[in-house]
Structure 1
Amino acid sequence: MAKYLISFPSAAMVVLDDEWEAVVRDSHAVIEEAKAAGVYVFGGGIDEDVLPVLVSADGTVTEGGYPWAPPLNGGFTVLELPSREDAVAWAARIAKACSCDQELRVFGFDPQS
């Protein structure tokens, strides 16, 4: 079984004010289904009100993330699934519930982590 990251950047989620209640309800329902199926690992969203810091090996802290990288924001879910096909199916369910496309990535397995 592999762990899959299903995510979207904040800008991808364009929802009308009168649709928010349904999106919240539907997305929470999909997550509850993933929990009931035993495939949910964790999920959430980046708190965009808290700016990132870049921490160097010597402990130096610099405000902001990597200056050359796009900002990391939005929401994510990590699921543990038996196949990429299963991951695509869950990503499609989340995309439908959230009303926006989802990126799907697989975590590389590191037995030391």
Structure 2
Amino acid sequence: MTKYLISFPSAAMVFPEEELQAVADAAHAVVQEAKDAGVWVFGGGIDESIPPIMVDADGSVREGTYPQTVQLEGGYSVLDLPSHDAAVEWAAKIAGACRCAQEVRAFQYDPAS
């Protein structure tokens, strides 16, 4: 089994505000389906009200982030799946629920994790 990251940026979710509850309900239903199927590992949205910080190797803390991740926000799901095709199928379910395209990436295999 491979763990897959299925994600989208916040700006991709475009729908009328009055549909927010329906979108949330649909997303929660897909999450429950993944849990029931035993493939759910973790998921959630980045809290964009809390700015990122950097923790250096010496333990010092500073504000900011890596330049290439300054726009890291949105929603993320990690699923443990048997194939890339299965990841695409789950991404389609999440895309339908969230009403936006999903990016699919595979984590490298690590036997220690």
Give TM-score, length-normalised by structure 2. Answer: 0.94
Deviations 1:3-31 (CA, angstroms, capped at 9, x unpaired): 00000011111121111111011110011
What is the CA–CA distance in structure 2 between the aligned matches of 1:110 and 1:85, rounded to whole Å? 21
Gaps of 5+ in 1: none
Deviations 1:58-113 (CA, angstroms, capped at 9, x unpaired): 11211011135432100011100100000000000000000000000000012234
Distance 1:50-1:95 versus aligned 2 partners, 3 A rule: same
SS in structure 1 at match of 2:95: helix
Q: Percent identity?
A: 60
Deviations 1:32-70 (CA, angstroms, capped at 9, x unpaired): 000000110110011111111011111121101113543
The equivalent of 1:104 in structure 2 is 104
The equivalent of 1:63 in structure 2 is 63
Gaps of 5+ in 2: none
What is the CA–CA distance in structure 1 between the aligned matches of 2:53 and 2:70, rounded to whole Å? 14
The equivalent of 1:40 in structure 2 is 40
What is the CA–CA distance in structure 2 between the aligned matches of 1:79 and 1:68, rounded to whole Å? 24
Q: Which amino acid aligns with 1:59?
A: G
Give TM-score, length-normalised by structure 1. Answer: 0.94
